[in-house]
């Protein structure tokens, strides 16, 4: 559990910021009462990156960040179904990372975080994004449909799948650019 406290604080605050940013952008955009925020779900990128790099150490902070974010953004709602959705989403990402690691389709070492982006570690993250988006879109909608007594809608599953992929891609591109800028700044000094 080396560096657990530092990892947890970093993961928590970055994920809470991304969740709040995403929520602020999408909160007022509704089309026929369907939430279009799922088309670019940036918090999924946090889950992918932090679970790939920090494994189980990141899971409590990720859950707590989404819990806090949901409580801050939607304080007067019954949140049970959102918490269950968060749990299924985290399990989906962790399961996807473990399957990719187990099948050895792509190799990845968490120590690669400060190395240049190369094909091997980039391929691992891309596969985790796609597989976790598939697992998440199906499992989360299945669980939420059972809790809310609503039939599963293929359109919503596809929207979640695309939203997780697009949101993860945008978050990761931002993280790569920010990390490159920070490393370049550090090298100048």
Choose between 189 and 97: higher pLDDT: 97
Choose between 118 and 66: higher pLDDT: 66
Query: By the 8 A CB rule, do 152 and 145 touch?
Result: yes
State how many domains the chain has. 1
DSSP string of the chain, one letter each residue: -TTHHHHHHHHHHHHHHHHHHHHHHHTT-EETTEEGGGGG-THHHHHHHHHHHHGGGGHHHHHHHHHHHHHHHSTTS--HHHHHHHHHHHHHHHHHHHHHHHHTSS---GGGGGSPP-HHHHHHHHHHHHHHHHHHHHHHHHHHHHHHT----HHHHHHHHHHHHHHHHHHHHHHHHHHHHHHHHHHH-
User: Which pLDDT score, from 0 to 100, does residue 129 have?
Assistant: 92
- Which band of pLDDT confidence, cut at 50, 70 and 90, is reported for residue 94? very high
Q: Which residues pair with 31 in a beta bridge?
A: 34
For the cut 50, the answer to whether the pLDDT of residue 162 exceeds it is yes
User: Which pLDDT score, from 0 to 100, does residue 28 have?
Assistant: 57
User: Which pLDDT score, from 0 to 100, does residue 53 have?
Assistant: 84
Q: Which domain holds residue 13?
A: 4-188
Q: Count CA atoms within 13 Å of residue 26 on its CB side.
A: 21
- Which band of pLDDT confidence, cut at 50, 70 and 90, is reported for residue 118? low
Angstrom CA distances, 118 to 94, 104, 126, stand at: 22, 17, 12
Which one, of 83, 88, 80, 81, lies nearest residue 134 by Cα? 88
User: Which pLDDT score, from 0 to 100, does residue 33 have?
Assistant: 44
């Amino acid at each position: 559990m080396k560096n657990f406290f530092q990892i947890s604080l970093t993961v928590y605050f970055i994920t809470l910021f991304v969740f709040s940013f995403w929520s602020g952008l999408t909160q007022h955009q509704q089309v026929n009462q369907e939430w279009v925020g799922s088309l670019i779900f940036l918090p999924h990128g946090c889950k992918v990156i932090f679970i790939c790099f920090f494994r189980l150490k990141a899971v409590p902070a990720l859950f707590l960040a989404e819990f806090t974010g949901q409580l801050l953004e939607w304080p007067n709602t019954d949140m049970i179904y959102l918490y269950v959705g968060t749990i299924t989403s985290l399990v989906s990402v962790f399961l996807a990372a473990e399957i990719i690691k187990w099948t050895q389709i792509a190799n990845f070492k968490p120590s690669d975080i400060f190395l240049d982006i190369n094909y091997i570690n980039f391929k691992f993250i891309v596969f985790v994004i796609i597989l976790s988006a598939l697992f998440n879109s199906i499992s989360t909608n299945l669980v939420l449909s059972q809790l809310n007594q609503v039939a599963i809608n293929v359109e919503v599953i596809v929207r979640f799948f695309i939203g997780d992929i697009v949101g993860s891609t945008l978050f990761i591109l931002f993280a790569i650019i920010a990390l490159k800028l920070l490393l370049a700044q550090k090298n100048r000094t």
